A and B are shown apart, each in its own frame.
Chain A
Amino acid sequence: MQEIRNYTINFGPQHPAAHGVLRLVLEMDGEVVQRADPHVGLLHRGTEKLVESKPYNQSIGYMDRLDYVSMMCNEHAYVRAVERLLGVEAPERAQVIRTMFDEITRILNHLMWIGSNGIDLGAMTVFLYAFREREELMDCYEAVSGARMHATYYRPGGVYRDLPDRMPQYRESPWRKAADARRMNQWREGSMLDFLDAFTEDFPRRVDEYETLLTDNRIWKQRTVGIGVVSPEQALAWGMSGPMLRGSGIEWDLRRKQPYAAYDKFDFKIPVGVQGDCYDRYLIRVEEMRQSNHIIRQCVAWLRQNPGEVMLKNFKVAPPSRTEMKDDMEALIHHFKLFTEGYSVPAGEVYSAVEAPKGEFGVYMISDGANKPFRVKLRAPGFAHLSAMDEIARGHMLPDVVALIGTFDIVFGEVDR
């Protein structure tokens, strides 16, 4: 008699739903997954090793490229680690700007997530709706740093510069009529804070649009309710964090439990799930978008009333302004030192974590007193989530694996580092 055996299927790395370069070797019994074996490393760029050979400030840009959907949150963890080793604290306004951009990043990330999870499950319209709003927020990134994604905006000691007084505007072109450009520029007449005010005013309505398409949709519910259930014990055992952990009903959010930046100033709620399935995590992320929107509004109001410094006036860490550099010898020396060898950080070790949109993103850094870190370990939430893939995917069907990859919110930049 012929031996019957399961067959394996290579899900990725070139697969439209593999979210980057995930290679998932699935052992299938018909459509049912018997074993899921995630292979990582195809996007390994050796960030942790690279960081060891560069002055502290030059590695901020690498953090953007880890989780390339939530750029500034990664920067935040790194910058905070350096600040804590240095024993400095950014000015209050910089802290609030960081808080605001962390939340903008959270919305950016969750928009990307809702879009790609939607398209994974076949609801492709949400994807394009989400990208419409992402475009606006990326303009904020661009206005403040000049780059739409890899901003490198946070610095140890503050942020690179204060918020701009005007926003870039659309111009008339063969593809954009003058009337359209005028309509799109309506929000962009004033400063960036005005723009964010207009955006946050409008954004809840946009979230309602996504919810109309998905939340009560019977097919969406059939595809997500009861799929990928993670029990609270499992979630803790696998080291999950962020919406994956909160979806299972554990209220754990670093913004609340270990407040950093200016989170203790602002009012926001932390949504928590009950079942721990894909649908709960979907609801949590949608609610987090609304809460982030709420935080941004408070930040905008605070920033309007409290102008001030956004960078430390400590020239051992932060560079002096260019005008000062031109007519002050001391400043010139500081400038030269900072942009050649950088600054040296006292020996010690530190773990600094932020609540990134995907979960706890941590930087563990050891300094031996040189101008480069001795060792950096990055704790990426996606890696812990992906490691649970086998246990959670077992017994699910092939289309559910797609839903699982979506709900884990995996980005390979941070998993492979």
Chain B
Amino acid sequence: MIDQIQHAWTWLHSDAASAVLIFTTIKILLITVPLILCVAFFTLWERKVIGWMQVRKGPTYIGKGILQPFADVFKLLFKELIIPSEANRVLFYLAPLLALVPAFAAWSVIPFDAQVVLSNSNAGLLFLLAMTSMGVYGIILAGWASNSKYAFLGAMRAAAQMVSYEIAMGFSIVGVLIAAGSLNLTRIVEAQAGNGGMFEWFWLPLLPLFVIYFISGVAETNRAPFDVSEGESEIVAGFHVEYAGSAFALFFLAEYANMILICFLASILFLGGWLSPFPESWGLVGTAGWWWLLLKANFFAFLYLWFRATFPRYRYDQIMRLGWKVFIPITIVWVLVTGIMVYCGWLLPGE
């Protein structure tokens, strides 16, 4: 035991270790910095798209609207961080970090192209489930630490909602797991490759799971029409009602990072990730590449905004009913169906 520690200690001080650490840090930055930029421009895109849907223009002033997200960021960073006098200070500071860290950590196993992934973990899917479930702690703690009734109600709603939709989401992922025969995300994408183009992807055999996965994803990230935990017309801003300035910005960043994560995951798990929707024999359009992944993720991101502009908000108990009485039974049944399909050889895991 002591030998091992000493061995690790000496390794940490070797040149090889420094090289690995520096290289990994660069890779992490290569993922997080574009991610933060994505979040920034996603907020802009959201405001623009919803604006167009609502016969108005959206932001037009700062840099013709394009620099609006940066103006927002600087405004938030320079604002005073107000802490309610009765709040639990430690938890109050800790909560936004607890929301943000898992939201970013989950990105470490996302493959962007055939070999482009920070950690090609064999338990990638499990890691993702773990990380997305951790996010709820940040929200619960934020609601609890604020010592406000609105925040508390928001936290309770968020906890119940995220925990129940976690199950439906988990079962959808089990379906993918059975169909792909692997927990490794790169393998899952490779399992969807084939000559049929988009008809080889998992969305077709797992259609109910695909739909439920994305809807649960919307619920999991507390977005409209499931945004009861921050429903502004009922509990004002829910769990982050007492947060201002940079602490609020962290929650915001975490929420949007999670949204984009769900978009990427839906594309990877069900729409063949970086694979082209056309058969390989079609030449250039049939070539797989990261741009396909971005395109698919963009499509889901647009759905998020479309939902938000169209639907009224569910009531809290209706969301729970939808989750427990509709989604979970359907996913359980379809997991069984998937198992039967694999057993009968209609669906070959790993191919």
A interface residue numbers (CB < 8 A to B): 7, 9, 15-17, 31, 118-125, 128-129, 132, 213-214, 217, 219-220, 222-223, 397-400, 402
Q: Report yes or no: B311 in contact with A219, Cβ–Cβ below 8 A.
A: yes
Q: Report yes or no: B312 in contact with A219, Cβ–Cβ below 8 A.
A: yes
Given contacts A16-B236, A399-B228, A402-B234, contact A124 B54 (CB under 8 A): yes
Looking at the complex, which of B16-24, B76-84, B194-202, B314-322 is the stretch in contact with chain A? Answer: B314-322
Chain B positions within 8 Å of A7 at CB level: 149
Given contacts A7-B149, A397-B317, contact A122 B311 (CB under 8 A): yes
17 chain-A/chain-B pairs, Cβ below 8 angstroms: A9-B150, A16-B232, A17-B234, A122-B227, A124-B54, A125-B54, A125-B309, A128-B56, A213-B310, A217-B311, A222-B318, A223-B312, A397-B317, A398-B153, A398-B235, A400-B315, A402-B233
From B56, B233, B309, give the contact of A17 (CB < 8 A).
B233
CB distance from B250 to the nearest CB of A (A): 23
Q: Report yes or no: B54 in contact with A129, Cβ–Cβ below 8 A.
A: yes
From A125, A132, A214, A399, give the contact of B315 (CB < 8 A).
A399
Chain A binding surface, main DSSP class: helix
CB distance from B55 to the nearest CB of A (A): 6
Q: Report yes or no: B54 in contact with A122, Cβ–Cβ below 8 A.
A: no
Which residue of A is nearest B313, CB measured? A122
Chain A positions within 8 Å of B313 at CB level: 121-123, 219, 223, 399
Chain A positions within 8 Å of B138 at CB level: none
Q: Report yes or no: B234 in contact with A118, Cβ–Cβ below 8 A.
A: no
Q: Report yes or no: A128 in contact with B312, Cβ–Cβ below 8 A.
A: no
CB distance from A215 to the nearest CB of B (A): 12
Q: Report yes or no: B316 in contact with A121, Cβ–Cβ below 8 A.
A: no
Complex-state Cα separation, A305 to B342, whole angstroms:
78
Q: Report yes or no: B316 in contact with A397, Cβ–Cβ below 8 A.
A: yes
Complex-state Cα separation, A119 to B234, whole angstroms:
11
Taking the complex as formed, is B102 at the interface, i.e. its CB lies under 8 A from any CB of chain A? no
Given contacts A219-B225, A399-B228, contact A121 B312 (CB under 8 A): yes
Which residue of A is nearest B232, CB measured? A16
From B53, B224, B317, give the contact of A31 (CB < 8 A).
B317
From B149, B157, B309, B315, give the contact of A9 (CB < 8 A).
B149
CB distance from A177 to the nearest CB of B (A): 12
CB distance from A380 to the nearest CB of B (A): 24
CB distance from B240 to the nearest CB of A (A): 15
Q: Report yes or no: B309 in contact with A222, Cβ–Cβ below 8 A.
A: no
Taking the complex as formed, is B231 at the interface, i.e. its CB lies under 8 A from any CB of chain A? yes
Q: Report yes or no: A122 in contact with B236, Cβ–Cβ below 8 A.
A: no
Chain B binding surface, main DSSP class: helix
B interface residue numbers (CB < 8 A to A): 53-56, 149-150, 153, 157, 224-225, 227-228, 231-236, 309-318
Complex-state Cα separation, A219 to B150, whole angstroms:
24
Q: Report yes or no: A222 in contact with B311, Cβ–Cβ below 8 A.
A: no
Which residue of A is nearest B322, CB measured? A222
Given contacts A17-B233, A219-B311, A219-B312, contact A122 B317 (CB under 8 A): no
Taking A214-B312, A398-B234, A399-B313 as known contacts, 12 extra A-B pairs with beta carbons closer than 8 A to each other, sorted by chain A number, are A9-B150, A17-B232, A121-B313, A122-B225, A123-B310, A123-B312, A124-B309, A125-B54, A128-B56, A219-B313, A397-B315, A399-B315
From A16, A17, A217, A397, give the contact of B312 (CB < 8 A).
A217
Complex-state Cα separation, A31 to B150, whole angstroms:
11
**B150, B231, B312, B316 interface centre (most CB from chain A within 10 Å):** B312
Which residue of B is nearest A127, CB measured? B54
Chain B positions within 8 Å of A124 at CB level: 54, 309
Complex-state Cα separation, A223 to B316, whole angstroms:
10
Chain A positions within 8 Å of B157 at CB level: 31
Q: Report yes or no: A125 in contact with B234, Cβ–Cβ below 8 A.
A: no
Complex-state Cα separation, A132 to B310, whole angstroms:
17
CB distance from B60 to the nearest CB of A (A): 8
CB distance from B98 to the nearest CB of A (A): 25
Complex-state Cα separation, A9 to B54, whole angstroms:
33
Q: Report yes or no: B231 in contact with A122, Cβ–Cβ below 8 A.
A: yes
Complex-state Cα separation, A35 to B312, whole angstroms:
26
Given contacts A9-B149, A399-B228, contact A123 B311 (CB under 8 A): yes
Given contacts A222-B315, A398-B153, contact A122 B309 (CB under 8 A): no
Chain A positions within 8 Å of B311 at CB level: 122-123, 217, 219
Which residue of A is nearest B316, CB measured? A31
Complex-state Cα separation, A123 to B233, whole angstroms:
11
Complex-state Cα separation, A31 to B317, whole angstroms:
9
CB distance from B144 to the nearest CB of A (A): 15
Chain B positions within 8 Å of A15 at CB level: 236
CB distance from B153 to the nearest CB of A (A): 7
Q: Report yes or no: A31 in contact with B312, Cβ–Cβ below 8 A.
A: no
Which residue of A is nearest B235, CB measured? A398
Chain A positions within 8 Å of B224 at CB level: 122
Complex-state Cα separation, A122 to B55, whole angstroms:
18
Complex-state Cα separation, A118 to B311, whole angstroms:
10
Q: Report yes or no: A31 in contact with B153, Cβ–Cβ below 8 A.
A: yes
CB distance from A136 to the nearest CB of B (A): 13
CB distance from B106 to the nearest CB of A (A): 28
Which residue of B is nearest A10, CB measured? B149
Chain A positions within 8 Å of B54 at CB level: 124-125, 128-129
Q: Report yes or no: B233 in contact with A125, Cβ–Cβ below 8 A.
A: no
CB distance from A167 to the nearest CB of B (A): 21
Q: Report yes or no: B309 in contact with A399, Cβ–Cβ below 8 A.
A: no
Complex-state Cα separation, A116 to B236, whole angstroms:
15
Chain A positions within 8 Å of B310 at CB level: 123, 125, 213
Chain B positions within 8 Å of A399 at CB level: 228, 231, 234, 313, 315-316
Complex-state Cα separation, A119 to B232, whole angstroms:
10
CB distance from B323 to the nearest CB of A (A): 14
Complex-state Cα separation, A124 to B234, whole angstroms:
14
Complex-state Cα separation, A283 to B235, whole angstroms:
27
Complex-state Cα separation, A18 to B347, whole angstroms:
55
